[in-house]
């Protein structure tokens, strides 16, 4: 199998990796904020329930969650579950939303109470205080850990292969198994390194732009 043929086949798998990556972000980023508000709620049952669910999700492997979402409905309830790719998407969004929620919560709770009190003195509502005073400070504080999680997501997309979704690593494994060549496994490292490298540069630039006290 030629280098070009391998590259084209791996690019097909990489497309699936990119789609899974971006759909996960689109779903997990807003859902994580909702979960964060639930975990900070003054209504104790909601707060305990939310934190309990987050604890379970963060305390179990993503691979296990993918398997459970795909096979669980059929094996447990005897009903037709989601197809392979939608099941992976659901598992990834829920998993990363749980991690993002803790990052959001840490950022929000790190803002001094005096900022909220100052906003109230100025006659602002809680919603106005959050979006006009708190939000941009939170974004600045959570960007480094959020960037780390997003870069981790790039590599975690390879877990989709456990339910036979042909992403980048599964595509390489199929080539290795069919043609008895090992180098495609090392070749895909270039795809991951390029993608994570671009994200690293992007987050570094955003951090510098938000670091308005520097220079």
Q: What is the DSSP string of 144-203?
A: HHHHHHHHHHHHHGGGGGGGT---HHHHHHHHHHHH---HHHHHHHHHHHHHHHHHHHHH
Cβ(142)–Cβ(111) below 8 Å: no
Assess whether pLDDT exceeds 80 at residue 208: yes
Cα four-point dihedral sign 112, 42, 127, 50: positive
pLDDT tens digits, one per residue of 87-145: 999 999 999 999 999 999 999 898 888 888 888 888 888 788 888 888 888 888 999 99
20 CB-contact burial (10 Å; exposed 0-12 / middle 13-18 / buried 19+): buried
Tokens of 114: 């005096």
For residues 77-82, give the mean pLDDT. Answer: 88
Domains within the chain, CATH numbers bracketed: 3-210 (1.10.3720.10)
pLDDT tens digits, one per residue of 183-197: 999 999 999 999 999
Mean pLDDT computed over every residue of the chain? 92
For residues 143-155, give the mean pLDDT. Answer: 96
Q: Identify the band that residue 66 occupies on the pLDDT scale cut at 50, 70 and 90.
A: very high
């Amino acid at each position: 199998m030629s280098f070009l043929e391998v590259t084209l086949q791996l690019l097909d798998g990489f497309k699936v990796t990119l789609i899974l990556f971006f759909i996960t972000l689109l779903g997990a980023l807003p859902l994580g904020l909702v979960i964060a508000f639930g975990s900070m709620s003054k209504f104790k049952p909601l707060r305990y329930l939310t934190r309990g669910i987050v604890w379970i999700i963060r305390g179990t492997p993503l691979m296990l969650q993918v398997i459970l979402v795909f096979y669980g409905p059929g094996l447990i309830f005897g009903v037709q579950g989601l197809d392979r790719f939608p099941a992976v998407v659901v598992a990834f969004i829920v998993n990363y939303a749980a991690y993002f929620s803790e990052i959001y919560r840490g950022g929000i709770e790190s803002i001094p109470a005096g900022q909220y009190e100052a906003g109230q003195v100025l006659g602002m509502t809680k919603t106005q205080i959050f979006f006009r005073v708190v939000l941009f400070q939170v974004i600045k504080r959570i960007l480094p850990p959020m960037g780390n999680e997003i870069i981790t997501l790039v590599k975690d997309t390879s877990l989709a292969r456990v339910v036979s979704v042909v992403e980048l690593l599964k595509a390489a494994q199929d080539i290795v198994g069919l043609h008895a060549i090992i180098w495609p496994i090392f070749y895909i490292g270039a795809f991951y390194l390029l993608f994570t490298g671009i994200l690293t540069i992007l987050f570094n630039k955003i951090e510098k732009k938000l670091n308005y006290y520097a220079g």
